[in-house]
Amino acid sequence: MSTRQFFVGGNWKLNPTSVGKAKELVEVLNKAELDPNTEVVISPPSLYLIPVRDAVSNKQITISAQNAYYKENGAFTGEISSSQIKEAGIPYVILGHSERRTIFHETNEVVALKTRAALDAGLKVILCIGETLVQREGGETTKVCEGQLSAVVKQTKPEDWSNIVIAYEPVWAIGTGKVATTAQAQETHVDVRAYLSTAVSTTVASETRVIYGGSVNSGNAKDLAGQQDIDGFLVGGASLKPEFVDIINARK
């Protein structure tokens, strides 16, 4: 088992449909016995960031935004900036999620610019990477992940990586019920570290947390968590259910 702190993030996406329901989700976590060695981060929709932040009483739990633009302010209707997120007392932001890349056509370069802006604003970044099913079946997983990481490497310095958590999320496993086998996930995490070792440094490669996302649930979390290079999870649908507590405690 590595010495990197285990990390479990809950990406609520465009859920739930009211502040009241958001607070109910928080209350489950407030009352739960959570593994004290696990960092827990929950990511509600932008409108709920502040009420969710205020509802959290368990100091082990922190909050993340789901997205941020790369400009600090200006005529960018509908966007939210990293400096605004930081000023609101939110420490993390998710960037590069496959839904942002596919639905909203964010390129590797745009994700890299967003990452640079977030780091400059003092935020920590959950940086998502991952391949589609066609790319997986074509043997392009490593190439795709390296391409997504390469754009960020160009915008960062080695010291920046202490504030980045990489979330490997195979697109074909997100919300589909399919999950990468422990061997597939471990293999890709090893490849990610190998790339970081070459592109940044061996220290960054060994110290950066690489977490897995893609239909993680209470049934598969323990097996995945037992892999040497899997440092936690970014959880979607299951983060809205009581089983999220079991996922947080996967290494207990």
Enzyme catalytic residues = 97, 169
Tell me the two tokens of residue 162: 């202490």
Beta bridge pairs of residue 10 = 42, 235
Q: Which amino acid is at 109?
A: E
d(CA 58, CA 74): 36
d(CA 23, CA 29): 10
Give the three-state DSSP class for 129.
Answer: strand
Tell me the two tokens of residue 238: 């299951």
**Residue 195 CB-density burial (10 A; 0-12 exposed, 13-18 middle, 19+ buried):** middle
d(CA 125, CA 60): 18
